[in-house]
Amino acid sequence: MGLIQNVLAVIVVLGLLITFHEFGHYWVARRCGVRVLRFSVGFGKAIWSRTDRHGTEFVVAAIPLGGYVKMLDEREAPVPDDQLHETFNRKTVWQRIAIVAAGPLANFLLAIVAYWALFVAGTTTVAPVVGEVAPDSPAARSGLQSGQEIVSVQGNAVRSWDEINLRLIAHIGASGELTIDARDDAGSSAQEYRLPVENYLVRQDPPQPLATLGITPWQPRIPAVLGQVLDGQAAAEAGLQPGDEVLAVNGAPIGEWMDFVSVVRANPGETLELEVQRDGEPLTVTLTPGSRELETGGAIGYVGAGVEPVEWPEEFRREIRYGPVAALGQAVSRTGEMTVLTLDAIRKMLVGLISPTNLSGPITIAQMAGDTARTGLETFVSFMAYLSISLAVLNLLPIPVLDGGHLLYYFVEAVRGRPVSERAQALGLRIGLAMVGTLMLMALYFDLMRLW
């Protein structure tokens, strides 16, 4: 069931993002007087098609991992004299720039609309209250204490752990001090704490911004009750079911969910005897965690099970809601922040501050889409907005075969007054295909490593 949900979720997400992207190209091309021959969502054999009164064939293809808009162009096929004015290649360079840039801009617009809807509807989060501070950690050396609520990071106001993580990740590679403002309670004034860091989060896979500082978020007691069990994984094969509460492992009592997680992680491939309570009745279950190799060496265990959510105390809940006008400003601001964060992550990956193993391909995207869909509409929409921004940014990179590569050629043409030579474009195409193909293979490889 989990696999089916993942597949459906990724089809919905990618289908929507690709449709918006290609519609951006299509809409501006039509406004510029270009004849559009085909609008395709997906590649391969068509599973549905329809031709409109303008002669454009709309297609949904079998492989939903991309799409394209095919325009009338003399470089691809002979064009009748009476249609030459509708060809893409005969439009001005600025019209061609507008048509190519419209795809990524449509993805930015989709992200803004998604964030706007979230801010208008209101999002519920939990207050970023510090649970534990690890001894001799940067947080401990700064004087930060358990029970304090973090209100800003590096001078930027924060209201949730998600916002804190985003602010901290933006400082990957930093050395010196990170500034955090925190208060003892809602009625007290905030104090500044300076946390010493050296090569912060460099090459961590995945980055752990809070744990590296020695901060553990506060959370209510979470009993070891299973909320979900993934098909085909160790927990399902052992017969565990949602609602089961783990009371003991190999005779040792389990007080909370993280106690169970710690035991599982420490025993990859080892047979464990679980004392479980199901519908008020005791039960003994034999469980053998799977093994997942770590990049740093060694392995950890996993069983393919998630915890049952618990209710947070009302005083720890925060609702973020704006009016329609204010929400638009917040949505544009959030989209800008995520765009800068994505560009900065690419730069840091190129210079070696971020491990390339953080690259994600279709398998990881499918898993994340499924997980966020199961979590709720709010999380799913937020994930879709971020993925839309990532798609826009990647397409704007100056790599031939991507929109950014075409824009590079057209801007050069605008400056020089004549197009880039066909030979140079052909060479760039081969280089671009090699770069994009290599990145896709790397992402798929790291996906499979995570899966195994």
57, 48 Cβ separation under 8 angstroms: no
Pairing of strands 281-287, 156-157: unpaired
The predicted-structure confidence for 18-46, as pLDDT tens digits, reads as follows 999 999 999 999 999 999 999 999 888 88
pLDDT at 426 over 90: no
Contacts of 259 (CB under 8 A, 6+ apart): 224
Q: Tell me the average pLDDT across 250-277.
A: 92
Q: How, if at all, do strands 176-183 and 191-197 pair?
A: antiparallel
* C-alpha span between 175 and 169 (Å, rounded): 13
Confidence band of 361 (pLDDT split at 50, 70, 90): low
Task: Please tell us whether the domain made up of 130-217 is placed in CATH 2.30.42.10.
Answer: yes
Q: How far apart are CA 300 and CA 294, in angstroms?
A: 7
Active site amino acids: 22
d(CA 126, CA 317): 5
Per-residue confidence (pLDDT) for residue 1, from 0 to 100:
47
Residue 43 bridge partners (DSSP): 63
Q: Extract the tokens encoding 81.
A: 């004299």
Q: What is the spatial distance between Cα 295 and Cα 433, in angstroms, rounded to a whole number?
A: 29
Least-confidence region, from 76-90, 398-412, 422-436 = 422-436
Give DSSP secondary structure letters for 289-320. -EEEE-TTSSEEEE-SEEEPP-PPPGGGEEEE
Give me the percent of the chain exceeding a pLDDT of 70.
93
> Angle at which helices 422-451 and 403-416 pack, to 10 degrees?
160
For the cut 60, the answer to whether the pLDDT of residue 295 exceeds it is no
Taking the C-alpha atoms of residue 23 and residue 41, their distance in angstroms, rounded to an integer, is: 10
Hey, how many other C-beta atoms are within 10 angstroms of the C-beta on 260? 26
- % of residues, the chain, pLDDT over 90: 52
Residues 130, 184: Cα–Cα separation, whole Å: 10
Check: CATH 2.30.42.10 for 226-308?
A: yes
Lowest average pLDDT, out of 334-348, 352-366, 437-451, goes to 352-366
Q: Is the pLDDT of residue 12 over 60?
A: yes
pLDDT over threshold 70, residue 375: no
274 pLDDT more than 80: yes
The boundaries of every CATH 2.30.42.10 domain in the chain are 130-217, 226-308
- Average per-residue pLDDT in the chain? 88
pLDDT in tens, 307-346: 888 887 887 888 888 999 999 999 999 999 999 988 988 8
400 close to 431: Cβ distance less than 8 angstroms: yes
pLDDT confidence band for 291 (50 / 70 / 90):
confident
pLDDT in tens, 59-113: 999 887 788 999 999 988 899 999 999 999 999 999 999 999 999 999 999 999 9
Range 209-223 average pLDDT:
90
- The span from the CA of 193 to the CA of 150, in Å, is 10
